[in-house]
Each structure stands twice: as structure tokens, then as C-alpha cells.
Amino acid sequence: MPGVTVTTAVRTGPVNTGDEVVGQVFMCGTAQRGPTDAATLVKSLAEYVTYYGGYESGNLYADAQTYFEEGGRRAYIYRATGASASAGTLTLNDSSSAATMTITAKNTGDWAANLTVAVAAGDTADTFVMTIALSGVTQLVTRDLVDVADAVTYLNTSSVSHLLIAADDATSANDPAVLAATALASGADGGAPTAANYVTGLTYFTENLGCGAVCIPGQSGATVWAGLLVHAGANDRIALMGFGSADTASAARTSAATYYSHASAEHGAFYWPWVKIPDPASAGLTINVSPESFVAGARATAVQEAGGPWRVGAGKISSAKFATGLAATVDRATSNIMDEKRVNTLRVVSGLVQVYGARSVSSDEANWRFITHRDTVNYVVHLAEARLEQFLFSTVDSRGALFNSIRGSLVGMLDPIRQSGGLYEGYDANGKKVDPGYSVQVNSANNPASQLATGLVKATVNIRVSAIGDQIAVTITKSNLTAGVV
């Protein structure tokens, strides 16, 4: 089938002779309201509230708030619901009690009980005005509406009301009768989503939305973790995974160990413990949230500073701007044990919460010890796909002009990454640069005539991703007072 296909592989040994989007997060969870048939990009907490409503205990509001407060700028949100969720409705009648208009909540949930519609006479004869309010706060007052068709069009195209309701004609052609503010009825959340519901929600984070980190904050267990890893592996993303709020360090290590050899293990990273943040509902109090949103915010900060995902969001750069503490005490010994078992800890350093690890859960430590390795490869994959789309359906000439154009485009993509420190350049013992940390091959060797005849052009890219210095060893020697210090 036509298109650009990028595959990745591990190459051992040396290589032969600031994108904001990559810092984004994909979050799946419950919300007060919001669409359940698509993921929505929000770029601030205010935008989150516009689409998904406010804070309720356990919903995504606190996670979105933490992400944005800690430096995040782009979040795709998917709202998960129970299987029997339903949307609230209200039928407006005319003066003879015949149905004339139906108002349906834009999406499912019991939030519709707080959504009211009122009808009043307009200032002009034979017109009416409608008022939409949410939780007692007026959201929209229409102009004078001349008939039902006019009202339906106005409400469904309004930048405000179209996010809250959908209006439809009913059987009567008469205008709706005057009505005091009346709530929509029969909206239901449908019970708590199951782990499978959350994992199904990941399918709305389609591949075309780009690379980044994906998480289901507050949810843990085999179904959730496996779902995140499979999704991340299939879509060239990384999965940020937490544990239950009461899980001990020992329990976290035991759970993580079952994923060392997962097929997509290098795409996933575990974090422990939960994080304390200011209570959105009560000033002066705190609540605990799972660490994924804090980690995602730290990752976004690092990506924005470095220009790509090779700078890990850990250590000083991850110092909390919003989080106030941790739900469990993490000392150096505990952190070291967790790191050995491929679980990244959060610690309080100099009074501030920090991410204190960059491990993937993969047992292939030679190639995928750090989650930034997979994150960087994901980034290169998405850039390459975008770069090479322009060459689809180009004529393959015998002089290699297409080959040269493809190679030039890929080099132009990789060299800025090298300059930003994302690729590790090779030098010999005399300090002479052996290679730039990457190589690109597009020639007759990997494009024989028999292959070109099928319409397939291949490019081979080798990259050496820079490592992370997550350990610094210092030796301090005491000298006698009479001895010199060297």
C-alpha cells in the first residue's frame, strides 16, 4: 500500500561512515463532562475546563492541572465512561403542550442535571429568547429567535452552547412556550469505567496525533499496564505508568518485574510514589495524585529546553513548581533499590519534589536502559515519516536524484538533533571525529532495480542516541594537616 513506513531496530557498536509537540502527553481518565467519541487537544487548564468541566475527586482535572503547572503545554484528553452512560435530555413544548424542540446534553453524564434551559418572550413580536446555564452560571443568552429552525441553528453553531447541548426539531412547528429554568433529566455516568474501558480509550489517541507520552493517571494493574505498553509500542510513544495509591515500594518492584521482557518494555517507565498537590476544592489542604502527570510536566519542560526528548525530565530540571510533597518517604537507599528493579522514584531534594530516575522497564539494558533512548527514536520515526511524505509518488530516476533528495532531507532532519546533543558523535583516540552519531544510506545497495520495480524505495538510518549520566561518583580523600593537598 502507498505511504511512508518507518521501522526501527537496534544496532550495536558504532555508527558507520525544539519541537513543542514532542513534549505532549496523552491522558485517558474520567471527567465531569466532555466528548467520548474523540480525543481533544487542550493547551491550558482553562481549555480543559471548557471541554471537560471542573474538579471531582478522582477525575482528570487534578492531573491536567499538575501537568500544566509543572510545565506542560499540550495534552490530548480522552474521557472514559461506564458502559451504561447516558446523556440528559429536555423536551420543550409549545403552548398546547406538543413537543416542539428537543435539547440533549452534548455528551453523557449526570452533569446534565446541572444544565438548565429557560425560554422567555423576545423583545420583538412573535420571537423568543433562550438562556442556557450550567451550575447556576449563565453560559448563553440568545438573540431574539424567530422560530424553532432558527433556534436549532443558533444553538448548534454557537461557540458556547455547541459544547454543552445539541438542539433538534420535534413534531410541532410552533414556538416553545415560556419556561422557567429547567434542568435536563436522565443523564448518567454509567458507573465507574473498567480497566478495559480505559484501555479502549487509548485507541482514540491515533497515530497521526504524533509522538509523546501516554498515561492513564490513577489506574494501575495488569490490564492497564499491558494496554499502555502495547499502545506505546504500536504508535511510537512512551508509556508513563504508576502504581496504586497504597502500593509499597516492595509491591511496586514486584509488579514492575513482570514487564521486564514485555515486547514493548523499552517503551514504558514506572514511577513511584504518588505526589501531593494543593486540593482543588479546599484551600490549605492537599490531595494525592499518581505521579504520571508530574512526570509528564517535567518531561515537557526538559523537551522544551533541549529541543527534543533526549534531555530527561529528571533531577534539577524537574524540581516542582506546583507539587508540594510525596505520599511516601523516599530515602536514598530506597531510591537505589527501586532503580535496580527498574522503577523510577520521585524524591524531595532541597525541599522540592523531583523525578529521580530515567529507567525504562526493559531488561535489554545495553540498548534501552534509559526511557529517553526510546523517546528519541520515537521522535526520529515521526520526523522521518513527515519528511518523506513529500517524496511519495516521485519518479525514480537512474541518476539517483530521488535518492539524493531523500538522503538530504534525512540528514537535514538528523543534524539539528546532533547539534542539540541528542546524538552521540564518535571520536578516535586522537580526538578526530569519526562520525556524527548518525548515517543515512539511500543508494543502489539497498535499492536494487528489482525492488524499485515494485515501487519501494528504502532508506536506512543508523543513529547513536546520547546516554544519560544518572550517576556521579566522587572520591574524597582526607589529608593530614601537615600534608599538601593535591
Q: DSSP readout, 276-313?
A: EEE-SSSTT-EEEE-THHHHHHHHHHHHHHHSSTTS-S
Residue 102 host element (H or E):
strand 99-105
What domain count does the chain have?
2
What's the confidence (pLDDT) of residue 16? 40
Considering the domain architecture, whether residues 141 and 160 belong to the same structural domain is answered as: yes
Residue 484 covered by a domain: no
Checking if the pLDDT of 177 tops 80, the result is yes
Is 16 in contact with 404 (CB distance < 8 Å)?
A: no
- Chain segment 29-49, per-residue pLDDT in tens: 999 999 999 999 999 999 999
Specify the pLDDT at position 208.
93
CATH code of residue 93: 2.60.40.4290
Using 50, 70 and 90 to split pLDDT, how confident is the model at 355?
very high
Residue with the bigger pLDDT between 213 and 11: it is 213
Please answer whether residues 124 and 228 qualify as being in contact, where contact means their C-beta atoms are separated by less than 8 angstroms. no
241, part of any domain? yes
Q: In the sheet that 325-326 helps form, which strands lie side by side, from edge to edge?
A: 286-289, 275-278, 325-326
151 confidence band (pLDDT: 50, 70, 90): very high
* pLDDT band at 295; cut points 50, 70, 90: very high
Cα 485 from Cα 420, distance rounded (Å): 38
Is residue 382 in a domain?
A: no
pTM: 0.92
Of residues 406, 389, 380, the one with CA closest to residue 463: 380
Residue 275 covered by a domain: yes
- From 121, 102, 95, 120, select the one nearest 174 (Cα to Cα): 95
CB 140 within 8 A of CB 158: yes
The answer to whether residues 25 and 167 belong to one domain is no
Beta-bridged to residue 165, according to DSSP, are 105
Domain region containing 196:
21-81+192-371
> Would you say residue 407 lies in a domain?
no
Is residue 225 in a domain?
yes
- Mark whether 127 and 157 lie in a shared domain: yes
Distance, CA of 274 to chain centre = 19
Residue 429 lies in a domain: no
| Co-location of 242 and 262 in the same domain | yes
Biggest alpha carbon–alpha carbon distance for the chain: 107
Under the banding of pLDDT at 50, 70 and 90, the label for residue 196 is: very high
Residues 109, 239, single domain; the answer is no
Q: Does residue 44 sit in the same domain as residue 139? A: no
Question: Do 31 and 156 belong to one domain?
Answer: no
- Res. 18 pLDDT band, cuts 50 70 90: very low
Residues 242 and 352 in one domain: yes
How many angstroms separate the CA atoms of 29 and 60, rounded? Answer: 6
Domain boundary among 337, 371, 405: 371
Higher pLDDT, 485 or 350: 350
Which H helix or E strand runs over 378? helix 371-388
329/221 same-domain check: yes
Angle between the 292-306 and 61-69 helix axes, to the nearest 10 degrees? Answer: 30
Listed residues 336, 352, 371: the one ending a domain = 371
CA-to-CA distance for 176 and 170, rounded, in angstroms? 10
The reported pLDDT for the residue numbered 486 is 62
Given a contact cutoff of 8 angstroms between Cβ atoms, the answer to whether 184 and 89 are in contact is: yes
Q: What is the CATH number of the domain that holds 69?
A: 3.40.50.11780
Q: Which of 336, 371, 406 represents a domain boundary (last residue)?
A: 371
Specify whether 43 is located in the same domain as 97.
no
Percent helix, percent strand, percent coil in the chain, to nearest 5: 30, 20, 45
Q: What's residue 254's pLDDT?
A: 98
Residue 157 within any structural domain of the chain:
yes
